């Protein structure tokens, strides 16, 4: 990025020099019409370099577990809410937490009441009543089972912790994807604007070169160079427009189904 900044500064200096020399009648208007084109191309390189630097910063943030870069803080809640794979991870985390709670309740003692009553039609003659009734209480100490329930609870706790980590990892990855997509859209928009400027200047340079050639003030080589520059600018402009639309579609995908 520093090299790109130096390139922009150097080409702007050349443009300024050509402008001064043209005003002093030391350079032709044709030279002045060509001079802004390299400046715009250098600005394209600078925009791309800045995007790569910020994209690398987003990768570093994801690796460090930083979820919300300031540049896209408004977009992240929508992406974290709408992404289907995140919804699936959250459901897995909820299931693991419920299993942990259920395993924890297994170690609690259980108390069971048992009762029975009835009539004995055939009974011993010495027994006065043929009706009977009985009741009892059973206390089950579940933790006296060799540590099986505690081991199961520990396993459920580790699974719940792993599910939580997977959710956080995916959220960090989604934040990184949204950040990079947003940076790409911004760079594509800047590139589209710069290519439109290059196109306008190349058309102006071609018209001026053609006019100078018709007046006998320049050669056919200069006309051919201006025509080639105009064609290259048109190709760059078309590519920049396509890239802008593609990057917008990518950002909509990373933000979730509702934004496609």
- 2-104+145-259 — its CATH code? 1.20.1600.10
Q: What is the pLDDT of residue 6?
A: 92
Percentage above 70 pLDDT, the chain: 89
Q: What is the pLDDT of residue 36?
A: 79
Q: What is the pLDDT of residue 143?
A: 66
Axis crossing angle, helix 36-64 with helix 2-23, rounded to the nearest 10:
160
Q: What is the 3-state secondary structure (H, E, C) of the chain?
A: CHHHHHHHHHHHHHHHHHHHHHHCCCCCHHHHHHCHHHHHHHHHHHHHHHHHHHHHHHHHHHHHCCCCCHHHCCCHHHHHHHCHHHHHHHHHHHHHHHHHHHHHHHCCCEEEEEEEEEECCCCCCCCCCCEEEEEEEEEECCCCCCCHHHHHHHHHHHHHHHHHHHHHHHHHHHHHHHHHHHHHHHHHHHHHHHHHHHHHHHHHHHHHHHHHHHCCCCCHHHHHHHHHHHHHHHHHHHHHHHHHHHHHHHHHHHHCHHHC
Higher pLDDT residue, 106 or 85? 85
Average pLDDT estimate for 78-83: 79
Cα separation values, 210 from 8, 153, 198, 219, 231, Å: 28, 84, 18, 9, 15
pLDDT score of 67 more than 70: no
pLDDT score of 133 more than 90: no
- Asked if 32 and 212 touch (Cβ cutoff 8 Å), the reply is no
Reference 51, options 183, 232, 217; nearest CA is 183
pLDDT score of 3 more than 50: yes
Higher pLDDT residue, 72 or 99? 99
pLDDT score of 258 more than 70: no
Average pLDDT estimate for 137-146: 74
pLDDT score of 146 more than 80: no
Mean residue pLDDT across the chain: 82
pLDDT 10s digits, 190-248: 889 888 888 888 888 888 888 888 888 778 888 888 888 889 889 989 999 999 999 99
Q: What is the pLDDT of residue 7?
A: 92
pLDDT score of 72 more than 90: no
Higher pLDDT residue, 137 or 33? 137
Q: What is the pLDDT of residue 260?
A: 47
- Asked if 8 and 42 touch (Cβ cutoff 8 Å), the reply is yes
Q: What is the pLDDT of residue 21?
A: 87
Bridge partners for 113 per DSSP: 137
All CATH 1.20.1600.10 domain ranges of the chain, comma separated, are 2-104+145-259
> Highest mean pLDDT: which of 30-34, 109-113, 190-194?
190-194
Could you tell me the pLDDT band of residue 34, with boundaries at 50, 70 and 90? confident
Bridge partners for 115 per DSSP: 135
Average pLDDT estimate for 18-27: 82
Could you tell me the pLDDT band of residue 119, with boundaries at 50, 70 and 90? confident
Average pLDDT estimate for 111-139: 78
């Amino acid at each position: 990025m520093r090299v790109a900044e130096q390139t922009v500064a150097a080409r702007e200096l050349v443009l300024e020099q050509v402008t001064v020399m043209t005003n002093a009648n030391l350079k032709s208007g044709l030279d002045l019409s060509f001079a802004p084109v390299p400046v715009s191309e250098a600005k394209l390189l600078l925009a791309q370099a800045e995007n790569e630097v910020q994209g690398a910063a987003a990768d570093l943030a994801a690796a460090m577990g930083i979820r919300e870069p300031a540049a896209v803080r408004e977009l992240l809640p929508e992406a974290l809410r709408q992404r289907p794979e995140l919804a699936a991870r959250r459901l897995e985390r909820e299931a693991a937490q419920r299993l942990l709670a259920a395993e924890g309740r297994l170690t609690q003692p259980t108390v069971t009441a048992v009762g029975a009553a009835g009539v004995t039609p055939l009974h011993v003659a010495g027994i006065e009543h043929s009706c009977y009734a009985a009741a009892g209480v059973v206390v089950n100490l579940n933790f006296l089972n060799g540590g099986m329930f505690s081991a199961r609870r520990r396993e459920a706790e580790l699974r719940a912790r792993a599910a939580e980590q997977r959710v956080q990892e995916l959220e960090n990855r989604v934040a990184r994807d949204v950040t990079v997509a947003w940076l790409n859209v911004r760079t594509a928009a800047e590139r589209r604007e710069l290519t439109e400027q290059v196109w306008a200047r190349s058309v102006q340079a071609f018209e001026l070169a053609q006019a100078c050639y018709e007046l006998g003030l320049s050669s056919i080589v200069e006309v051919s160079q201006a025509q080639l520059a105009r064609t290259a600018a048109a190709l760059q402009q078309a590519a920049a427009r396509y890239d802008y639309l593609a990057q917008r579609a990518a950002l909509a995908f990373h933000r979730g189904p509702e934004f496609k």
